[in-house]
Amino acid sequence: MRLDIISIFPEYFSPLDVSLIGKARERGTLDVRLHQLRDWARDVHKTVDDTPYGGGPGMVMKPEIWGAAIDEITEGGTPRMIVPTPSGRPFTQGLAQELAQEPWLLFCCGRYEGIDSRVMDEYGTRMRVDEVSIGDYVLAGGEVAVLVMVEAIGRLLPGVLGNAHSAVDDSFAPGAMQNLLEGPVYTKPPVWRGREVPEVLLSGHHGKVARWRRDEALRRTMKNRPDLVEALDASALDKRDREL
Ligand code: SAM
């Protein structure tokens, strides 16, 4: 998968050199290309922003600089363009899965009050453009949001996770965990500071372990995300689920 990221702070992306994503880049599973937006600015100060039409505080990123950058980077091809913004559609595990199927993503990191809207309108006629929010809060810039998205998408690519099955049991994973949070996890020793690992996990009985995990997932979801439980499709619940 090819990822192009345009930002005025490309140095924000050094975490992409390490861990799973770093290894995926070394192996060639992920081809990440960072671009400094200011390279397309025309004045000596490399200005990328200007005052907003209609007045108000803050600055807005200039369309012609974004246009020059995107035209050059996408010349001869059509990526799917992702623009992080708190006013976008929510970033979910489902969207991460959808984006993990794309061969090429272009991330455009806004700063200040964001990017002139005409940029999204213009490229929306040439490629799929999604404005995406990573949560109901406001960050200083799109870089951290893009790091979040790249990590969530990257770990779903074939061969990136050491054990492909670990994503199957994750919170929100399609299948048994759809719209559920993962329950508690344990490792050795069996007793730590007098606290015992639940006995069923030591039983070696796969069916009972699977049932226990689902029960715990439901309990945790009810406690931490009652909104998700309310949204669950009743037909996806069995008798035991309803008793919890
Ligand atoms: N004035 C904008 C608003 O209220 O919607 C906020 C702009 S914010 C200070 C600057 C940049 O940070 C945005 O253009 C976007 O790239 C990024 N950003 C901030 N919060 C975000 C969020 N929750 N999800 C994704 N990107 C975010």
Beta carbon of 133 within 6 Å of any ligand 1 atom: yes
Q: Which tens digit of pLDDT belongs to each residue from 4-16?
A: 999 999 999 999 9
- Residue 106 forms beta bridges with which residues? 4, 81
Distance 159 CA to ligand 1 centre (A): 32
From the list 86, 219, 220, 225, the catalytic residue is 86
Q: Is the peptide bond before 189 cis (omega within 30 degrees of 0)?
A: yes
State the complex-level ipTM: 0.99
Task: Name the fold adopted by 2-154.
Answer: Alpha/beta knot (3.40.1280)
Sheet with 2-7, side-by-side order of all strands: 31-36, 2-7, 104-108, 80-90, 129-133
- The average pLDDT across 230-235 equals 85
Which tokens in the block code for residue 63? 């369309």
Q: Which tens digit of pLDDT belongs to each residue from 116-165?
A: 999 999 999 999 999 999 999 999 999 999 999 999 999 999 989 877 76
pLDDT score recorded for residue 178: 79
Assign 211 a pLDDT band (cuts: 50, 70, 90).
very high
CATH class, range 168-243: mainly alpha
Measured between alpha carbons, how far is 206 from 200 in angstroms, rounded to an integer? 9
Would you list the DSSP string of 44-89? Answer: TT---EEPPTT--SS-EE-HHHHHHHHHHHTTT--PEEEEEEEEEE
> What are the boundaries of each domain within the chain?
2-154, 168-243
pLDDT score recorded for residue 236: 78
Phi-psi region of 114 (alpha: psi -120 to 50; beta: other; left: phi over 0): left
Determine contact, residues 155/105, Cβ cutoff 8 Å: no
Beta carbon of 114 within 6 Å of any ligand 1 atom: yes
pLDDT score recorded for residue 91: 98
Q: What does pTM read for this prediction?
A: 0.94
Instruction: Please state, as a whole number, how many other Cβ atoms lie within 10 Å of the Cβ of residue 82.
Output: 28
Distance 57 CA to ligand 1 centre (A): 15
Q: Which tens digit of pLDDT belongs to each residue from 63-111?
A: 999 999 999 999 999 999 999 999 999 999 999 999 999 999 999 999 9
Read off φ and ψ for residue 115, nearest 5 degrees: -95, 140
Residue 105 annotated as binding? Answer: no
User: CA of 47: how far to CAs of 4, 39, 50, 65, 113, in Å?
Assistant: 21, 10, 8, 9, 15
